[in-house]
């Protein structure tokens, strides 16, 4: 599912999205076909780095000891120490609020068992379990990549919504992001483009606009 036809159709769909007085995100919505999503092995759970970023602030949380935290002190948006991690079980309401507010988490490998025990029940259903990072690895490049990353997740329903940026981004950059998303999802499907029934572009409050893929 490549070529100038797809690119042009995607550009047209993005261009038709109505302008509003507030910032809107733009999503690609994929309707799948002939995929048995009752089998968890067939579900999509992919992280995709957008070539032109998200167009908005992406918040990153770091769960680690002091040494790794010192390396990422200007890169991460939220630092959670081992001591703070242990206290989070005492106030689940505040913990849920914090988890909802952060887009991605990374955690020092040694702390992952505690993260799973204390936060697994909150992070797991939200798709926010941390990416484990060895203690000797600089977390900053990982954090920088996550700021340009989106998640594509399918559940039981054959529909995936994936953000590709915001309405105030340049058309060419949004199109490049959209093409990257489509390429990555197609690669994860057993029959590639034949498992994609329809493609739509949609802003936060706007109508769904169909993309002619062929």
Tokens matching residue 56: 């908005």
User: Do 138 and 165 share a domain, yes or no?
Assistant: no
User: Do 69 and 91 share a domain, yes or no?
Assistant: yes
User: Do 82 and 136 share a domain, yes or no?
Assistant: yes
Residue whose entry in the numeric block shows the structure tokens 């579900």: 43
User: Do 104 and 165 share a domain, yes or no?
Assistant: no
- Supply the CATH number for residue 106's domain: 3.40.50.790
User: Do 142 and 154 share a domain, yes or no?
Assistant: no
Q: What string of pLDDT tens digits covers the 214 residues of the chain?
A: 557 888 999 999 998 887 766 678 999 999 999 999 888 888 898 999 999 999 999 999 999 999 999 999 889 999 999 999 988 988 889 999 999 999 999 999 999 999 999 999 999 998 899 999 999 999 999 999 999 999 998 888 899 999 999 988 999 999 999 999 999 999 999 898 999 999 999 988 888 899 987 6
Question: Can you list the alpha helix ranges (DSSP code H) found in the chain?
Answer: 4-16, 66-71, 82-87, 92-101, 112-123, 140-146, 171-188
Instruction: Report how many helices (DSSP H) and strands (DSSP E) the chain contains, helices first.
Output: 7, 10
- Supply the CATH number for residue 165's domain: 3.30.190.20
Q: How many residues does the chain have?
A: 214
User: Do 91 and 134 share a domain, yes or no?
Assistant: yes
Report yes or no: 30 and 159 within 8 Å, Cβ to Cβ: yes
Q: Strand 104-108 relative to strand 60-63: parallel, antiparallel, unpaired?
A: parallel
User: Do 68 and 122 share a domain, yes or no?
Assistant: yes
User: Do 90 and 139 share a domain, yes or no?
Assistant: yes
Range of the domain at 78: 60-146
């Amino acid at each position: 599912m490549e070529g100038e036809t797809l690119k042009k159709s995607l550009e047209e769909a993005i261009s038709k999205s109505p302008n509003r007085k507030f910032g809107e995100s733009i999503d690609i919505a994929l309707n799948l076909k002939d995929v048995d999503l009752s089998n968890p092995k067939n579900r999509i759970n992919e992280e995709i780095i957008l070539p032109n970023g998200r167009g908005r602030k992406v918040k990153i949380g770091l769960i680690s000891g002091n040494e790794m935290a010192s390396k990422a002190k200007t890169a991460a948006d939220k630092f959670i120490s081992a001591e703070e991690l242990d206290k989070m079980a005492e106030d689940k309401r505040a913990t849920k609020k914090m988890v909802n507010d952060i887009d991605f988490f990374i955690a020092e490998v040694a702390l992952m068992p505690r993260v799973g025990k204390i936060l697994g029940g909150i992070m797991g259903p939200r798709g926010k379990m941390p990416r484990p990072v060895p203690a000797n690895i600089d977390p900053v490049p990982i954090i920088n990549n996550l700021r340009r990353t989106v998640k594509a997740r399918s559940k039981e329903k054959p529909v995936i919504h994936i953000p590709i940026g915001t309405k105030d981004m340049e058309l060419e950059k949004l199109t490049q992001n959209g093409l990257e998303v489509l390429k990555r999802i197609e690669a994860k499907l057993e029959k590639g483009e034949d498992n994609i029934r329809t493609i739509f572009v949609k802003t936060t409050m706007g109508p769904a606009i169909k993309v002619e893929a062929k």
